[in-house]
């Protein structure tokens, strides 16, 4: 990754870290850095000086309103800003020789992502993308004997949160599962189908997508932020085996068919983990060791590309289908999910997503 001399210097002293964007999630990033050994939280950057100054005072950090003030003062940063700001901030800091952990999605366009990836590569810097679920124990401790599944089904359901409405549910939630699915399948995307609706916001709040891979694997993904009950699961189907990775409850359920045709079910309950701490630690380790990050810029670009294709498929579908209108006059309505015939879990089916035109 970096030069041997640079790596040795970073190993010999604490890594100076800054956080750009001290909002809801950025505060958590800063707290992790402040508590971890081997790094020093030097500064935080936010336009809201009052909140940033209070945090900085508690953690002995400097406060700036311009991320450019970090140049020359830090070795690494977390960028936890709106997605539209990821590219310009990351680009300028990479050009200044700063290692970058940027929240998902990596950028707004694949062209921007390609530029950041190449820039980090040319300068020997770590570019890590904040796909947090890679560090979820239900995924990181998945069975090692899982072969490439032929069918994958993911559900990522949550209640409505007003602060997320500036982006679609594809970029807000589904992009997590796209990264996980790509990691599991390891094959290029062949075709994408998708339908979606807006319920409480002007952006897509609920989307169902079917992604076909060149390997033959098919993934059916559902993401909703208008659900009554939270759920984050990945079902992996292969010959004589069904594995469920429950990211919400931190468990793994494996169902195997025995030679006599009966089923053997095994449930493994995992210990909870601080996934953000693990993500930040992985970032610092990549810097110290000069190794590739767990979630690389290329990984982030791959998930972004498929997310964009899904959003485009939803838009294209609106030309031939009329979106389902959901309203009770006060915009306090709920979407009822169908029950999947195999898993018996909530499933927002394609037939319930649209009303066929006559």
CA distances for 307 relative to 89, 110, 211, 238, 300, angstroms: 22, 10, 10, 25, 11
Other C-beta atoms closer than 10 Å to the C-beta of 288 total 18
Q: Which tens digit of pLDDT belongs to each residue from 211-239?
A: 999 999 999 999 999 999 999 999 999 99
Q: Domain check: are 33 and 48 in the same one?
A: yes
Predicted local distance difference test score (pLDDT) of residue 163: 66
Q: Domain check: are 130 and 144 in the same one?
A: no
DSSP 263-320: EEEEEEEPPP--HHHHHHHHHHHHHHHTPPPSSBHHHHHHHHHHHHHHHHHHHHHTTT
Residue 312 lies in a domain: no
149 close to 217: Cβ distance less than 8 angstroms: yes
Total tally of structural domains belonging to the chain: 2
Q: Which tens digit of pLDDT belongs to each residue from 108-121?
A: 999 999 999 999 99
Residue 266 lies in a domain: yes
Q: Domain check: are 343 and 224 in the same one?
A: yes
Q: Domain check: are 125 and 215 in the same one?
A: no
With the C-alpha atoms ordered 97, 103, 107, 111, is the resulting torsion angle positive or negative? Answer: positive
Residue 309 lies in a domain: no
Q: Domain check: are 143 and 230 in the same one?
A: yes
Range of the domain at 72: 4-134+276-296
Residue 280 lies in a domain: yes
Q: Domain check: are 161 and 263 in the same one?
A: yes
Q: Domain check: are 234 and 347 in the same one?
A: yes
- Residue 145 — pLDDT band, cuts 50, 70, 90? confident
Residue 315 lies in a domain: no
Identify any residues that bridge with 194 across adjacent strands, giving them in sequence order.
209
Of 248, 264, 296, the one marking the end of a domain is 296
CATH number at 244 reads: 3.30.360.10
Residue 305 lies in a domain: no
* pTM (predicted TM-score): 0.86
Q: Domain check: are 11 and 79 in the same one?
A: yes
Q: Domain check: are 65 and 44 in the same one?
A: yes
* CA gap 61, 332 in Å, rounded: 43
293 close to 286: Cβ distance less than 8 angstroms: yes
Q: Domain check: are 187 and 286 in the same one?
A: no
CATH number at 14 reads: 3.40.50.720
- Name the strand (E) or helix (H) holding 29: helix 24-35
Residue 218 lies in a domain: yes
Q: Domain check: are 129 and 216 in the same one?
A: no
When pLDDT is averaged across residues 20-29 and rounded to a whole number, the result is 94
């Amino acid at each position: 990754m970096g030069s041997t001399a640079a790596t040795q210097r970073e190993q010999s002293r604490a890594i100076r870290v800054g956080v750009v964007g001290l909002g809801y999630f950025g505060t958590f990033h800063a707290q992790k850095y402040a508590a971890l050994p081997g790094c020093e939280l030097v500064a935080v950057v936010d336009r809201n000086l009052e909140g940033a100054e209070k945090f900085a005072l508690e953690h002995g950090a400097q406060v700036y309103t311009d991320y450019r003030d970090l140049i020359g003062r830090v070795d690494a940063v977390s960028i936890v800003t709106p997605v539209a700001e990821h590219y310009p901030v990351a680009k300028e800091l990479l050009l200044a020789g700063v290692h970058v952990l940027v929240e998902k999605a990596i950028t707004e366009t694949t062209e921007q992502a390609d530029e950041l990836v190449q820039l980090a590569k040319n300068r020997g810097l770590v570019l890590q993308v904040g796909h947090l679920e890679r560090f979820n124990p239900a995924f990181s401790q998945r069975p090692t004997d899982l072969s490439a599944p032929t069918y994958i089904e993911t559900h990522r359901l949550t209640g409505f949160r007003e602060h997320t409405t500036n982006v679609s549910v594809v970029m807000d939630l589904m992009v997590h599962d796209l990264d996980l699915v790509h990691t599991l399948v390891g094959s290029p995307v062949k075709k994408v189908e998708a339908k979606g609706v807006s319920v409480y916001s002007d952006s897509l709040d609920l989307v169902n997508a079917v992604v076909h891979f060149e390997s033959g694997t098919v993934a059916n993904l559902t993401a909703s932020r208008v659900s009554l009950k939270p759920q984050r699961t990945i079902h992996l189907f292969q010959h004589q085996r069904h594995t469920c990775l429950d990211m919400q409850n931190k468990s793994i359920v494996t169902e195997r068919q025995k030679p006599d045709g009966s089923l053997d079910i095994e449930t493994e309950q995992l210990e909870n983990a601080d996934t953000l701490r693990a993500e930040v630690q992985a970032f610092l380790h990549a810097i110290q060791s000069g190794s590739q990050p767990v979630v690389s810029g290329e990984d982030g670009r791959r998930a972004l590309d498929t997310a964009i294709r899904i959003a485009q498929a939803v838009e294209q579908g609106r030309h031939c289908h009329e979106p389902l209108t959901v309203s009770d006059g006060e915009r306090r309505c709920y979407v009822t999910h169908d029950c999947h015939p195999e898993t018996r879990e909530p499933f927002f089916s394609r037939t319930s997503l649209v009303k066929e035109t006559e």
